[in-house]
Structure 1
Amino acid sequence: MARTITTLCWNFEANGGPDHDKRSKANRLLASLDPDLLFRQEMWGAWGADAKGKSVMDNMEEDLALRGWLGPSSHTAVFAAPALFSPVRGWPDKDAETIWKMPPTVQGLRYRPAGPDAVPLVCASYHHNYASSTQRHAEADWATTFADKTWTTPIGMDVKLPVLMGGDHNSYPVPGAPGDLPLPVLEEIRDRRHRVHRSCIGPDGTRRMCTCPDETLRTAGLEDVARHIAARTGNTRALARTVTGCASHGPDARVDRIYASDVLLPAVADVEVIEVPLDMSDHHIVRAVLDGDELAQVLTHTTVR
């Protein structure tokens, strides 16, 4: 039976804030999904993951049975199963806190079953700006540099590393995937401030819904894995909402997404959204399942340039 790699992406609101029981309940939910990789956002809050000597982060690692790496100012984190992934290096960016409102976590991980000569996988968790499409545009441009990391193979060849990354984009996918949620209608968003938060000025001078991060990442060869699965298999449940609609913010939307280098797409076996109660978080969980054997093949024979 082929090994599968379960990857989760979740923006758990303010990491539960001061509510220890809520955070423990969230950790139990994540643990029940048996993740091998986890991209988390909003690790900050009244009890951020760096609080009290990172004791909150330590507790999370214990609850999830995963090793974690916490990004600058506790905004984001990457977690991985130590039996399957070993760290080879991080990519802290001295400019991250200037460019990003909520800086990302970028970690190089070696997939152990692929063997010691395989190239590592770049894993990134990020959170685009809530209120500014201009800022999101810059952050999305910068996120393409996650796919610019290089590695020297044992035979001396420099290759660009494949990337698996997930986050809260605070924006929408470019329309066109059959079965994807339609873009909101700007004028139907009741909160007029939120109309600004989720839109931008288009080339014709009119305001339109913001799809820039998706367009930017896919132009750079980073594919939305849910869109890929829906196109390949017809499984439109991969395109389910990740935030529930409300009167002020508009209809259901798919703002949380996982992207992968195109070379990794053969390893993507399934994508779905796990809904969580609104009293726990304002975002649902994206789950992508990878075929471990295919992943090993990619990492062993990658020629990404």
Structure 2
Amino acid sequence: MLINAAICNFENNGGGDRALWQQMHDKLASLDLHLLLRQEMWNAQDNDNELADAAEEVLGMAGLIGAECCTALYHDPNLFTAVGEFPKTGPMWVLPPTVRSLQLAGTAPGAVPLIVGSYHLNYCSTTTRLSEAEWLTKWNDKWVKDKHGDRYVHHPVLLGGDNNSYPVAGTPGDPALPVLEEIRDEPHRVHRSYIGPDGVRRMDDRPDDTLRTAGLQDVARHLVDTTGDTSAVAPTVDACDTHGPDARIDRIYVSKELLPAVRAVEVIDTKGLSDHHTVLLRLDRDTLTDILNNPISRAA
């Protein structure tokens, strides 16, 4: 069995166009998802939780809406059981993430949970994005004493969201970084670039470098490296006159020990429904079960 996890930044999460909202949720439901990481959940809890409840019904999933309706996390209750939440995600977030730990059905009594998080890095500040990415790394640093108390076991993490920045260049098939001077919208040049120590302005890839330095791996990059299938790094936002060329700003990162479970990454075209495409990750359940049953550990 494959476990399907997706990230989706949907510009009409507030339900302003209810027909468009319905089409997008029907599209997501058709993907047979077990985990869904959402961004921009504006107004989802208005009118006594109207849109939040409607989304759960259409998707057939249980949802958790994060602080200020900025992000959300959905899971298949037949496959995952929520065992913990992390409401204190750090002081600097403009759009706070939603993070919880989930126990996979069929794992052994001593198995570790999977930490899953949906995030949305800041749109206009490279400095804030870097700080937010640094705070995301804390979720890959969860070491908990086992029942015997003589070892620490690692709780692996799956994080996905809108990075509003670019992956470090070098992966075959990855969209090329924009040329700064060719971005027509001058404020956007500042939003997506930073000044390096040599005084040269560069396109912002620091969040990606930060997450991968902390042992979190971009699943699409991993698939290209191991299989050569460059469809995994297809653009997640399309080119536009003001903001520049196609880009892959929506990405999923996992702890290194989860990489053996990765089977496929697909970019689902949602043109006409959203300005972001949906990224779908497929994990092998048996492999994931074995990883959670036998977590990496170190002496206490």
SS state of the match for residue 216, structure 1? helix
Quick one: which of 4, 7, 10 aligns to 2:8?
10
Deviation at 1:150, TM superposition (A): 3.3
For 1:216 and 1:193, the matched residues in 2 are separated by 24
1:137 aligns with 2:130: yes
Q: Shift of the alpha carbon at 1:304?
A: 5.1
Q: What's the offset of the Cα at 1:160?
A: 2.5
- TM (norm. structure 2) is 0.96
Alpha carbons 1:189, 1:248 under 8 Å: kept: yes
User: In 2, distance between residues paired with 1:24 and 1:14?
Assistant: 10
Q: What is the SS of the residue equivalent to 1:260? A: strand
Quote the residue 2:33 is aligned against.
Answer: 35
Q: CA deviation at 1:17?
A: 3.8
1:127 paired with 2:115, answer no
SS of corresponding position for 1:272: strand
What are the Cα deviations for residues 109-165 of structure 1, in whole angstroms up to 9, with x where unaligned? Answer: 001122332100000000000000011010000110111223343333332310001
1:269 is the counterpart of 2:263 = yes
Question: Could you tell me whether the CA contact under 8 Å between 1:50 and 1:74 is conserved in 2?
Answer: yes
Q: Distance in 2 between matches of 1:151 and 1:34?
A: 32
1:90 aligns with 2:88: no
Instruction: Tell me how far apart the structure 1 counterparts of residues 137 and 218 of structure 2 sit (CA, whole Å).
Output: 13
Give the equivalent residue in structure 1 for 2:199. 205
> Counterpart in 2 of 1:169?
163
Instruction: Give the corresponding residue for 2:97.
Output: 104
Which residue does 1:80 correspond to in 2?
Answer: 75
Determine the structure 2 residue equivalent to 1:297: 290
Q: Specify whether residues 216 and 58 from structure 1 end up closer, same or farther in structure 2 by C-alpha distance, changes over 3 A only.
A: same
Structure 1 residue 13, shift from structure 2 partner? 0.9
Structure 2 unaligned segments of length 5 or more: list them: none
1:304/1:132 Cα in 2 relative to 1: closer, same or farther (>3 Å)?
farther
**Which structure shows the higher helix fraction?**
1
Q: 2:26 & 2:148 partners in 1: Cα distance?
A: 44
Q: Distance in 2 between matches of 1:294 and 1:154?
A: 23
TM-fit CA distance, 1:51: 1.0
CA deviations on 1:207-259 (whole Å, 9 max, x unpaired) are: 11000110000000000000000110011000000000001000000000000
Give 2:51's aligned residue. Answer: 56
Q: How does 1:191-270 map to 2 (within 5 A)?
A: 191-270=185-264
**Paired positions, count:** 297
SS in 1 for 2:282: strand
SS in structure 1 of the partner of residue 159 of structure 2: strand
Measure the CA separation in 2 of the matches of 1:155 and 1:267. 28
For residues 164 and 151 of structure 1, the distance between their equivalents in structure 2, rounded to whole angstroms, comes to 17
| Structure-2 separation of matches of 1:299 and 1:189 | 45
- Structure 1: which amino acid aligns with 2:210? T
Instruction: Say whether 1:69 aligns with 2:64.
Output: yes
Deviation at 1:262, TM superposition (A): 0.3
Counterpart code for 1:219? T
Q: In angstroms, what is the RMSD of aligned CA positions?
A: 1.2
CA–CA separation in structure 2 for the residues paired with 1:92 and 1:158: 23
Distance in 2 between residues matched to 1:83 and 1:152, nearest whole Å: 28
User: Match for 1:296: what amino acid?
Assistant: T
* C-alpha contact (below 8 Å) 2:3/2:34 kept by paired residues: yes
Letter matched to residue 284 of structure 1: H
Any conservation in 2 of the 1:137–1:212 contact (CA below 8 Å)? yes
Query: Which runs of 4 or more aligned residues in structure 1 lie more than 6 Å from their structure 2 counterparts after TM superposition?
Result: none
Write the distance in 2 (CA, Å) between the matches of 1:240 and 1:251: 13
**Alignment-derived partner of residue 23 in structure 1:** 21
With 107-116 and 129-138 compared, the bigger mean Cα shift is at 107-116
Question: In the alignment, is the contact (CA less than 8 A) between 2:14 and 2:44 conserved in 1?
Answer: no
- Counting aligned pairs with the same residue, the percent is 51
Using the alignment, how far apart are the partners of 1:124 and 1:304 within structure 2? Answer: 22
Residue 291 of structure 2 aligns to a residue whose secondary structure is: helix
Residue 94 of structure 2 aligns to a residue whose secondary structure is coil
Any idea what SS the aligned residue of 2:13 has?
helix
